[in-house]
């Protein structure tokens, strides 16, 4: 199972036609202490670029955009009670949503790990 990345610092892993989406370690470092995460309702249809979640750090609110078209099939409710998990395990237990993809070919436009690493170095 490969992981893909967006320029907006989301990671995506795909199992069958379901993508798990979270934010990268770089993103959580930039945000600082996360104190609240707002997640979408299960069943919501999202298009690539739609606002899918909101992360509130002590300083500010930041939007998380849907990286691909699809339907939200699961939200990580653990984050509602333990938003700090986003700081502790951003690329593991603190995933945000699972999206059933409507067009898997959109994955091809996303970065792989090496490309994302290069992207970070260019920032």
Q: How far apart are CA 116 and CA 11, in angstroms?
A: 10
Sign, CA dihedral 14-46-73-103, equals negative
Q: With contacts defined by CB under 8 A, how many residues of the chain interact with another protein?
A: 25
Can you tell me which of 54, 93, 107, 111 binds another protein, judged by CB under 8 A? 54
Among 42, 47, 61, 115, binds another protein (CB under 8 A): 61
Question: What is the per-residue binding string for another protein in 89-118, x denoting contact by CB under 8 A?
Answer: ------------------------------
Residues in CB range of 62: below 8 A, 6 or more apart: 31, 54, 55, 56
For another protein, the closer CB: 17 or 61: 61
Nearer to another protein, 16 or 122 (CB): 122
- Would you state the structure tokens that stand for residue 7, as one six-digit string? 């320029």
């Amino acid at each position: 199972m490969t992981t893909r990345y967006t320029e907006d610092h989301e990671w995506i892993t795909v199992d069958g036609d379901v993508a798990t989406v979270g934010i990268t370690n770089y993103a959580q470092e930039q945000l600082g202490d996360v104190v609240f995460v707002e997640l979408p309702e299960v069943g919501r249809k999202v298009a690539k670029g739609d606002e899918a979640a909101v992360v509130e750090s002590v300083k500010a609110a930041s939007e998380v955009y849907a990286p691909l078209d699809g339907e939200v099939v699961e939200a990580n409710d653990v984050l509602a009670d333990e938003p700090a998990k986003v700081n502790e395990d951003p690329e593991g237990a603190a995933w945000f949503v699972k999206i059933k993809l409507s067009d898997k070919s959109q994955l091809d436009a996303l970065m792989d790990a090496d490309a994302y690493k290069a992207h970070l170095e260019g920032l």
